[in-house]
Amino acid sequence: MSQAHASAVMLAEIQNLTPSAEPCPAGRSRPSIDGDERQAQKQPSLLQTTSEDLDLVERLRRGEESAFTWLVDRYHGSLLRLALAHVADRETAEEVVQETWLGVLEGVDRFEGRSSFRTWVFRILTNKAKTRGVRESRHVTFSDMAPLDDEPDEPAVDPSHFRSQGHWADYWSTYPQPWDERTPERVLLSQEATAWLEEAIEALPRNLRQVLIMRDVEGLDSKDICAILDITETNQRVLLHRARSRVRRALERYLEGGTTAA
Amino acid sequence: MTREEIRIYALDFLAGRLTCKEFVELLTDYLDGSMSLWTRVRFQLHLGLCRGCRHYLQHMKQTIRTLGRLPSEPPPPAIQDELLRRFRTWKQERPG
């Protein structure tokens, strides 16, 4: 057990991309620009414990089966998506999700509502996945968890889209075209586009994928993500930026009639 | 020089040079509200003057919005049953 603990600490250090000189600030909220729309589209509110959360937890504590099935219906797919960003294969991911549900049941009496229920569940899942990673470290390649500093800078946009010389070097050579005019937003919500998007997410390196899923798909607070993954705020932002830039490029390829998302 | 270029030239003069290439790399800092005041001023000046970067910002916001709407599939019945079985065991063994 102590050996496992040591490995867990080591793993945490590997994932801690730079020395944590910069702790996450408290109370940072969602991106202000999309905040209103995001709050409206996902219920309950993502950032704080809602009375709905507390009500569910209370019903779960009383052993109400309907509360449990409701939660499983609501969160299982999200948990599986995140688990797949942590472990090597689907079978292991499904086991991690099952362990997470057991963790939820075992821990429900200790849930204090300091974070949202969603954040709490994702924290349990991440810990289960990390433990699993440590236990099976012989089979896991760590290349995905390489420190960010060792990776070459990755431009958000292909440099060929900018002018290469003259006074206007590094300005657009051709302007990006607005998506709205060519494609109404519902195109991006079609089944085909959704599959494309999932594929683009799956193609991301694990660390990018974990941050993107928690931040943009699930809407967790950035300071919670820093705490869950044990990374600094700066690293969280760099990972998120790379992930978003890649997914934007994938969607652009989709809208331009491309054939592969990754 | 096109009209657009003259406008951007004015920006260069007013706020120090912020290129489109820099702009796209600052986008996440901007959306997450973690920008110094001066950078934010330069960023917004550039945004006001550069149509390409306005479009790019829209792309990114649409990307984020679409990600936030990805559906989450409910579990297949076999897994649902298994979880329910575990729930019942948990309930039975629960003190009180």
| Tens-place pLDDT, residues A177-233 | 888 655 556 677 788 888 899 999 999 999 999 999 999 999 999 999 999 999 999
B22 reaches A (C-beta below 8 A): yes
- Counting beta carbons within 10 angstroms of the beta carbon of residue A222, is it exposed (0 to 12), middle (13 to 18) or buried (19 or more)? buried
Residues of B (53-92) whose Cβ lies below 8 Å from A: 53, 55-56, 58-75, 79-80, 82-84, 86-88, 90-91
The partner residues of A172 in beta bridges, in order of sequence, read A162
ipTM computed for the complex: 0.88
Give me the residue from B24, B69, B80 closest to A157, CB to CB: B24
pLDDT at A101: 97
> Are A248 and B20 in contact (CB < 8 Å)?
no
> Considering only CB atoms, which chain B residues are within 8 Å of A38?
65, 68
B47 contacts B24 by C-beta, under 8 angstroms:
no
Instruction: With beta carbons less than 8 A apart as the criterion, state whether A199 and B48 touch.
Output: no
Chain B residues whose beta carbon lies within 8 Å of the beta carbon of residue A192: none
Q: Is the pLDDT of residue A6 over 50?
A: no
Nearest to A237 among B19, B32, B71 (CB): B32
Report the pLDDT averaged over residues A25-29: 39
Please give the residue that has the higher pLDDT: either A255 or A215: A215
Question: For residue range A74-131, what is the model confidence (pLDDT) as tens digits?
Answer: 999 999 999 999 998 999 999 999 999 999 999 999 998 888 899 999 999 999 999 8
In sequence order, the 6+-apart residues with CB closer than 8 A to the CB of A145 are A14, A15, A206, A207
For B77, nearest residue in chain A (alpha carbons) = A73
Most A CBs within 10 Å, among B70, B80, B81, B92, to test the A interface: B70
Is A68 in Cβ contact with B55 (below 8 Å)? no
